[in-house]
Each structure stands twice: as structure tokens, then as C-alpha cells.
Amino acid sequence: MADNGDDDSQYRIKEGDYVVLKRGDIFKAAQIQLKKKVIFEKQWIYLDNAVGHFYRTTFEIGSGGTLHPKKSKELESSTAAKEAGTDNRNIVDDGKSQKLTRDDIEMLKEQGLKGQEIIQQLIDNSSTFKDKTEYAQDKYIKKKKKKYENTVMILKPSCRILAMMYHGREPGKICHLRHDTLAQMLTLANVHAGSKVLVFETCSGLVLGAVMERMGGFGSVIQMYPGGEPLRPGVESFGFPSHFHDMLHEFPICHVNALLAGTLDTKAKDPNTGTASPPLINLEQSILTTGDSQQNKPEVKQQGRSAEEQSMEASSDANRSDDQAKEDREKRKEAKSQERKVKLEEKRKKMAAAAALLEGRNADGLVIASRFHPCPVLLGLLKFLAPSRPFVVYSQHKEPLIECYTKLKEVGGTVSLRLTDTWLRHYQVMPNRTHPLLLMSGGGGYVLSGITVSVDHSKAAGSPQAEEPAPKKLKLTNTEG
């Protein structure tokens, strides 16, 4: 970064840092906490030893899960001096080509041999390796490497890495949003420093974090969230500097209609009277009920803490006498009520701040990526955008976006609507062995993008909007006939 480009400290791993562990194409987000076990690829690791090292250092995982920095270049060197056969003609598949047994390999491991050394042993003891084609040798080494190499690289998190991580490990948590699709969304929405961007997502906060990264702490991001609490565990993984969080606001969507109607009361309630003007929505009431509403249910699964609380409560109630239980319940009720009041006030302030940002209906961008039907979400939130501002809607499926498109064409107020997806393929580039990777992602989801314009209800003839979709449709019908 320009502001402290020569300061090395930001390039070093510190205690408390959010980091990403990497082995091959496998990523995992973690935090550097001393003496705390982290599971990575079925192994326990302690990250303590990483502190002080530079990011992108590769560590060998020692016995007991401790990390030891690997000498650079060791990893990169080609494993075996290759003596390739020209074809596989003499290879007979009898399952007897490997002289090392499973037990032999376990023994080598116990002797403390490193992954790379084990692989070399495997090669030396393979009767067919030298006869295999280079292509087949390479495949063999890769397979074994994956199995026996025992290293981890520690990376500084970024949108690129976290997006790849989520898509690779837990696509269900990010609605199967592929990283290149996210890239399209950020660009098509013109997300940049200094703007005011609305985000509605159920992608664990990945999309929210991506937007925040692109804004670099300048401007405002308003998370429009469903249910009782904004959910964004993924934002933490970005490890943003604390001032980034100053630009983050949140607003529960269950108050969107009230806000649009001008009936939302976000003023502090007088604790003595406890009343609000009748036509206005009572914030406390609605916040309290929101938590219990149907709406919230789908979230519960993801929201570990609240689900846990509920189940703990239920089990502790079960084995007590009625009286004692009653008393306890009263106490807890009291404590909870107090706690709730504090939370409520905090929430009220937050909501008031977000409402203030939204009221002008002059947001600069809208990004939607959720498991909800995108059509009502889009139509509802579009109202907060200034004219001539881009919006993007992601959906894992095309059909709901077709509906969005149709609906937007009906109601007007948008131009440049486009429904797209992207096709992504990676390549192996090696001398004489260049080809696309044999597997690719089946799909990265769909994006509907567009730009808002001032709404005008008098539709003139010969206008671009009237002229736009009709001729194509007509043409298609003709060729159909």
C-alpha cells in the first residue's frame, strides 16, 4: 500500500492476525492464537512458531503439530530426476509394481522422513516409474505429493484468497458463488472508495468483506440483513484494520417498508413514558418480535451461538424441580431483559445511523447475493439507489434472475440490463505438456446487472425502451416458426 509501503511490519505474521493456511489448492482461514490448536486437512497444528515470520513463508509441520520454516526453494525443486519412457507400452497392470508396502511407508514416516523423501523412496521402489511417460510420471508424483507432503504456507487474507477458499471448501455457505463471478459483481457494481454501497447477502459475509476491501475504508457500506442479526463471520477473516469497520452500517430488511413509507421511528424512546407516536412503527416492539419471527428461522442453522443457547437452556430446565426452575427463570428473565435493553439501545443507534444514510435514497451501488428469491429483494432495495448507479444481483440459478429481468422491464427505472455468467478454465502450462486442466468448475452462478435511471411514467413512442426488446423477440419468433 502506498501509505506505508516500506514498513515491513505489515508483511510479518503477528499474534492475533487473521491468516489463511494453504497447501496446494487447499485454503483455510485461521487466527494466530498462541497455544491454540487449528485443524488443517485432518491435522492438528499450532501456529505459534509462525509469529514474526513473513507472510508467504512455507512451514513444515513437525511432530506435535509445530511449525518449522522450510528453507526456500526446497519445495519448488522437481522431486525426481526424471528418466521418462516414451510410452506406456511395456507396463503391465498387475498391482505389483510398488515394492514398498503400506507398513514400509508407515515405518518411513515414523523414522521422521519428510514427505518429499518418502515420495523419492516410493519412486525408487517402483519398478514401472522409469518406464512411464513423463505425463504419467508427473501424475504419479502429484498424487503422492498430495498424500505425503506435510507443509503449510501462511498467507495474508484477501478477497481473492477467501473467495477461492470458500468456493473450494464450503460453496454451500456462499450460495456457490465462484470467485470469478464475485469479481464480475464488484466490477459491474463499480464498487470503489468513497461511494455508498448497499449489500444484501447470505454468503457468510464474503461478499460484504469483498465490497469493504474494494472501498479501502473510504465511504459507507450498508449491510441490509434478514432476520434478527447481521451474519458475517467471513468479514472477520479479511483481518481488516479497525477503521474499516467505521464505514460498515447495518439495517434490518424487516424495516425497509417502514423506512420507505416514512413511518420508521429511530429516535431514542423516553424510558419513562415508553410511548411512541401511534402511526409510527415502534422500534423496540419490532426489534423484539423480529427475533422470534419465522423470517429468522433459516438463519438459526448458521448462527451457532443462538442455537447453542437455546439448546443449553432447554436441557438445564429439564432436570430441576418446578419451583427452583421457576425462580431461576424469573431471575434469568430479569437479567435478560436488562441485557436486551442495552442491546436494543445499541441496535437503535446503529439502525438510526443506517436509516439516515438510506433516507436520501441516493446510494451509489447495490450488491445482492443471497439464498432468497432475488426478485422481491431487488425491487425493494433498488429504491434506495440514486439514478445512474449500477446494481448487481447474483443467483446460483438462472430462473429467478429471468424473473427479475422481466419484472424490471415491466416497472422501468433501469437500463442496460444484462443476465450473464462466466466460464472459467485453468491451464497446465509445461514444456510439451500444456493443456487445460482436466476438471473445471461446473458453474459459478448467474449475475443480473443494470443501471438505474430517473423514473418517468410517460412512455414516448420511438423511445429506446419501447424499441429495445421488441424487435429481437419478433425476430426470434420468426425463426422459430
Partner 1 sequence: MSFVEYSDHIQEGDVAIIYLGHDSMMPVKVQQGAQTQTRYGAIRHSTDLIGKRYGSKVTCSKGGWVHVLHPTPELWTVTLPHRTQILYTTDIAMITMMLELRPGSVVCESGTGSGSLSHAILRTIAPTGHLHTVEFHQQRAETAAQEFRQHRVDHLVTVRNQDVCKDGFGVTGVADAVFLDIPSPWEAVKHAEAAMKTQGGRLCSFSPCIEQVQRTCEALAHQGFEEISTLEVLLRVHDVRTVSLPLPDFGSLPSESPERTAAVAVKTTTPPREIPGHTGYLTFATRART
| Residues of span 317-356 touching partner 1 by CB under 8 A | none
Grid cell locating 50: 509462525
Binders in 257-296 for partner 1, by CB under 8 A:
257-258, 261, 263, 279, 281, 286, 293-295
- The answer to whether 466 and 203 have CB atoms below 8 angstroms apart is no
Which range touches partner 1 (CB under 8 A), out of 187-195, 266-274, 333-341, 344-352? 187-195
Handedness of CA 283, 286, 290, 292 (dihedral sign): positive
The minimum distance between CB 470 and a copy of itself, in angstroms, equals 18
CA-angle at 151, arms to 149 and 152, nearest 5°: 140
Taking Cα atoms as reference points, which of 266, 225, 226, 219 lies closest to residue 246?
219
195 binds, among partner 1, a copy of itself, none (CB under 5 to 8 A by kind): partner 1
| Site membership for partner 1, residue 246 (CB under 8 A) | no
| Site membership for a copy of itself, residue 432 (CB under 8 A) | no
Site string for a copy of itself, 358-397 (x = CB under 8 A): -------------x--------------------------
- Quickly list DSSP for 286-332: HHHHHHHSGGGHHHHTT-HHHHHHHHHHHHHHHTS-HHHHHHHHHHH
Q: Which residue has the cell 436509516?
A: 355
68 binds, among a copy of itself, partner 1, none (CB under 5 to 8 A by kind): none
Q: What is the DSSP letter of 104?
A: H
Of 105 and 368, nearer to partner 1 (C-beta) is: 368
Out of 301, 305, 457, 472, the only residue in the binding site for a copy of itself (CB under 8 A) is 301
Which range touches a copy of itself (CB under 8 A), out of 113-121, 170-178, 316-324, 466-474? 170-178
| Site membership for a copy of itself, residue 478 (CB under 8 A) | yes
Of 176 and 348, nearer to a copy of itself (C-beta) is: 176
Q: Which residues pair with 450 in a beta bridge?
A: 391
- The answer to whether 45 and 152 have CB atoms below 8 angstroms apart is yes
Out of 96, 315, 423, 478, the only residue in the binding site for partner 1 (CB under 8 A) is 423
- The answer to whether 105 and 127 have CB atoms below 8 angstroms apart is no
Grid cell locating 235: 468479514
| Site membership for partner 1, residue 69 (CB under 8 A) | no
For residues 205 and 212, give the distance between their C-alpha atoms in angstroms, rounded to a whole number. 10
| Site membership for partner 1, residue 78 (CB under 8 A) | no
For residues 196 and 300, give the distance between their C-alpha atoms in angstroms, rounded to a whole number. 29
Which range touches partner 1 (CB under 8 A), out of 1-9, 33-41, 108-116, 305-313? 1-9
Of 301 and 457, nearer to a copy of itself (C-beta) is: 301
